[in-house]
Chain A
Amino acid sequence: MLKFIIPTIMLMPLTWLSKSNHIWINSTAYSLLISFTSLLLLNQFNDNSLNYSLTFFSDSLSTPLLMLTMWLLPLMLMASQSHLLKETLIRKKLYITMLIMLQTLLIMTFTATELILFYITFEATLVPTLIIITRWGNQTERLNAGLYFLFYTLTGSLPLLVALTYLQNTMGTLNFLLLQHWTQPLSPSWSNTLMWLACMMAFLVKMPLYGLHLWLPKAHVEAPIAGSMVLAAVLLKLGGYGMLRITPLLNPLTEHMAYPFLMLSLWGMIMTSSICLRQTDLKSLIAYSSISHMALVIVAILIQTPWSYMGATALMIAHGLTSSMLFCLANSNDERTHSRTMILARGLQIFLPLMATWWLLASLTNLALPPTINLIGELLVVMSTFSWSNPTIILMGTNIVITALYSLYMLIMTQRGKHTHHINNLTPSFTREHALMALHILPLLLLSLNPKIILGPLY
């Protein structure tokens, strides 16, 4: 695993020592090369994981997430070039350094064997994200957003530290490879219930669960584009990944402890989808749609069936790419009109037809059009929840319909309709932006040809 971590750390001296007109091209090109090396991890030759050392390993759950993370860094760098134009050189390098630091910590999170190392890097990812949001965000509300983000996730995850130290004491190890074979069930006592809560709350806040989701619209909307991309695509999946790793330890408590969170998620996905229909701010709409998709993932993980695990992992990867692409599209709008309100930038299809194609593709994948991997994930989740409990099909069906409604609403509001006079002189799309969108949609479409690599360890 050091073959990823060390090059990523070395990207930092690369940025600082590059000439001023080469910082972007250097960091983007090298991070793209590093992302290609992650393809090596796909060669999982047996049901056990690929073990590189006692500290790092990768199995078919962490591999797709790792590939997503490493693929996203060059994309983030490409997307940030425009809004950092006016900054001084040192600040540009600082920004890139923050992104690289975040990337290193994320790689270590997804490949950590020891759960304490996972926890440390999990918490450490908050710091560069907070700096990116509060320093480079757009408006005064970003301080508020940073506070919400920091304290929600911190408060959720501090009990996890306590739980992990307790588990280390009782089980003697927190090495995931050994924990996979843990067979002793948890007795249903109060303290074990609290431990279940302590373990899960950190990840539920991160996902986010419907009742604890207030930080997400704020953080996503106020963050700069790279911050939004990494938040939506990867940081949310940290929660899912953590839940998938820790649930083997918490049998059989999950069967009855999961009910409140299942209800919250089932209800919350419909609520947040409906909120999307009433949003006027484009980034806010995409943020709420993220919550809705992640609620599906929470439901899938909590019912713990093989198909639902496959659906959860597929949905995480698919949503990561789609959400990131939607944020890039919204940012391209924002950079041109200097406003995130949808109502002020309408009829864009006439002005930017190729960008309208990307908008169409992104909206179609967002509403889980067959045969994309979004559909595979959603379908697996819907089927497994149906078999878990028949009436949930009504809620799931309603959610699918409302998702389609708001995705098309967003498409029609921004692309179709009569344009207003003040968008007459939109700058045409840059090649960089087209490359960005293509690099998002290409993996998404190619994965629909071979989805088994993202279906996780239970495939």
Chain B
Amino acid sequence: MLRRALPLGLGTGLLGRGLGTHREGSTLDWHGKVSEIKKKIQSILPGGAWSPLYDTSHLPPEHSDVVIVGGGVLGLSVAYWLKRLEKQQGAIRVLVVERDHTYSQASTALSVGGMRQQFSLPENIQLSLFSVEFLRNINEYLAVVDDPPLDLQFNPSGYLFLASEEGATIMENNVKVQRQEGAKVCLMSPEQLQKKFPWINTEGVALASYGLENEGWFDPWCLLQGLRRKVQSMGVLFCHGEVTRFISSSNHMETASGEKVTLKRIHEVHVKVDRSQEYQPVECAIVVNAAGAWSGRVAELAGIGKGPSGTLQGTKLPVEPRKRYVYLWHCPQGPGLEAPLVADPSGAYFRREGLGNNYLGGCSPAELCPQEEEPDPGNLEVDHDFFQEKVWPPLARRVPAFETLKVRSAWAGYYDYNTFDQNGVVGPHPLVVNMYFATGFSGHGLQQAPAVGRAVAEVMLEGRFQTINLSPFLFSRFYLGEKTQEHCII
């Protein structure tokens, strides 16, 4: 009975796999052997988690209070703020499940890294304002003992939005809102624009708004690594795996007006290990969906959207991956070091990269082309014809020096595109009561990540938004049809 009693129920691994991979080679690896024996003794002594049958150190723990699906900048930000806002250290156990630790397809790593406050929604502006304050003081927020300070390479060169005749009134209203929230933006006429940036061709520009402070671009990889390092030092567990299933239980309940609803609660997450059939059921109290471009798929796993369309059960999470190209070119006569990130009314944009007359740029096809011409999000292949046809002509018109340039390289990344209103989804789902969203920011997730992480952590711990009120970004707007859309030129 004792023999049967001990190892059962420790997670479904492959029985008889043996204790790790032992080489049967002939080389006497004393050092390796001794350290292995030491490790085994350490794990047997009280204090270590030892499984008598096989090694389970690569599997996530069997129980975690919060499981965050997705280890990009949004997921790590939520983990950071959860650990920071918990009342006592070590109160909540957080597990971050990330499918790809090289972040080869993650939106964070492939992002252009822009930071702006020039939005039209006050919530977006507040999010960016807090995030830039976070980034400016990043070495106070993300300090880890004995580790070097972070260098985000924040270039505070600002954003320059150009508006044609039609968009000029919208731009003025937007700038008014931005100034109310505390962003420092200045409006420029074409003459002022020509004087300030002589390399610009102001044909067709009626008005320009230029961010004077707290705007620019930074290195997203550095932020990601800084968050990862800090979050690991705060005790968050990382797991290399993919979420394949949610086990949930439903309750049929009635609302106050007598309507019948079915509320669901996820109580187990199946995390599948990479390149293996092995999976670990993780018992959890809360699941955070921060899976970026794949959030829609994760939401479908939880049963969101399975129901007759038009009802709350049938409302899917409208986040899907959209591919965007970024091109890097060299132009020796190009704009100098003061060049901001210029956004043309046609949708093309560019920014300076480094000090050697290199520039990054691209184009958001949403403005130019209808839905059918969206690039296929199945892979991250770059279409160079897109540059020739859609990006180069408007940029060359806007900056005459760009008529002669040489493309150095290009890459593609995903937007976690919210097809409903291109703004983020934050907060709990009304029917799956313990799934919280932090996704769908459609291209401006990186710059708002610190603030969004704090907002989601507040909802999870306190039950409501405390610092920035993100109720326009709740999931229920998809069902009620209330779009919180940006009235922006881009």
Q: Which residues of A contact B (CB under 8 A)?
A: 94, 131, 134-136, 138-141, 143-144, 147-148, 151, 278, 280, 337-339, 341-347, 418-425, 427
Contact = CB atoms under 8 A, between A and B. Distances in A.
Contacts of A341: 65, 91-93, 285
A148 B2 contact: no
B46 A147 contact: yes
A121 to B, nearest CB: 19
A123 to B, nearest CB: 15
28 contacts: A131-B5, A134-B5, A135-B6, A139-B62, A139-B63, A140-B10, A140-B49, A140-B61, A143-B6, A143-B51, A144-B47, A147-B46, A338-B283, A339-B63, A341-B91, A341-B93, A342-B91, A343-B92, A344-B65, A344-B92, A344-B285, A344-B286, A346-B463, A347-B463, A421-B427, A422-B434, A423-B433, A425-B265
B162 interface: no
Contacts of B286: 339, 344, 422
Contacts of A344: 65, 92, 285-286, 460
> Which of B87, B253, B264, B463 lies at the interface centre, i.e. has the most chain A CB atoms within 10 A of its CB?
B463
A136 B8 CA distance: 9
B65 A425 contact: no
A128 to B, nearest CB: 10
Given A139-B61, A421-B433, 10 more contacts: A131-B2, A140-B62, A143-B50, A338-B283, A338-B284, A339-B284, A339-B286, A418-B463, A420-B460, A421-B428
A438 to B, nearest CB: 25
A346 B285 CA distance: 13
A134 to B, nearest CB: 6
Q: Which 6 A-B pairs have the closest CB atoms?
A: A425-B263, A339-B285, A280-B91, A422-B434, A135-B5, A421-B428
Contacts of A148: 46
Contacts of B428: 421-422
A425 B433 contact: yes
Nearest to A418: B463
A424 B1 contact: no
B248 to A, nearest CB: 10
Contacts of A423: 433
Interface in B236-284: 251, 253, 263-265, 267-268, 283-284
Contacts of B91: 280, 341-343
A454 to B, nearest CB: 36
B190 to A, nearest CB: 50
Contacts of A419: 463
A168 to B, nearest CB: 31
**For chain B, which range describes its interface: under 10, 10 to 19, 20 to 34, or 35 or more residues?**
35 or more
Most buried by B among A344, A346, A427: A344
A4 B65 CA distance: 44
A131 B8 CA distance: 12
B419 to A, nearest CB: 25
Interface string B179-219: 00000000000000000000000000000000000000000
Contacts of B401: none
Contacts of A337: 285
Interface in B82-121: 86-88, 90-93
A416 to B, nearest CB: 13
Which of B48, B91, B285 counts the most chain A CB atoms within 10 A? B285
Contacts, number: 106
A131 B1 contact: yes
Nearest to A280: B91
B462 interface: yes
A420 to B, nearest CB: 4
A339 B88 CA distance: 16
Contacts of A140: 10, 49, 51, 56, 61-62
Interface string B299-317: 0000000000000000000
Contacts of A343: 86-87, 91-92, 461
Contacts of A424: 263, 433
B380 interface: no
Nearest to B86: A343
B459 interface: yes
A343 B268 CA distance: 20
B233 to A, nearest CB: 19
Contacts of B88: 278, 280
Contacts of B285: 337-339, 341, 344-345, 422
Interface string B398-440: 0000000000000000000000000000011000011010000
Contacts of B6: 134-135, 143
Contacts of A139: 61-63
Interface in B1-34: 1-2, 5-6, 8-10
Interface string B377-410: 0000000000000000000000000000000000
Given A418-B463, A421-B433, A135 B9 contact: yes
A138 B283 CA distance: 10
A420 B251 contact: no
Nearest to B65: A339
A103 to B, nearest CB: 17
B464 interface: yes
A350 to B, nearest CB: 11
Nearest to A135: B5
Interface in B36-71: 46-51, 56, 61-63, 65
Central interface residue in B46, B56, B61, by most chain A CB within 10 Å: B46
B48 A138 contact: no
A68 B434 CA distance: 40
Chain A CB within 10 A, most for which of B1, B2, B5, B286: B5
A424 B432 CA distance: 10
A94 B8 CA distance: 14
Contacts of B87: 280, 343
Nearest to B88: A280
Contacts of B61: 139-140
A134 B9 CA distance: 10
Contacts of A420: 459-463
Nearest to A422: B434
Nearest to B249: A427
Contact of B459 (A136, A143, A421): A421
A327 B284 CA distance: 20
B62 A144 contact: no
A278 B50 CA distance: 28
Contacts of B50: 143
A122 B284 CA distance: 38
Contacts of A425: 251, 253, 263-265, 433
A230 B161 CA distance: 70
A342 B88 CA distance: 11
A309 B5 CA distance: 40
Contacts of A143: 6, 49-51
Nearest to B47: A144
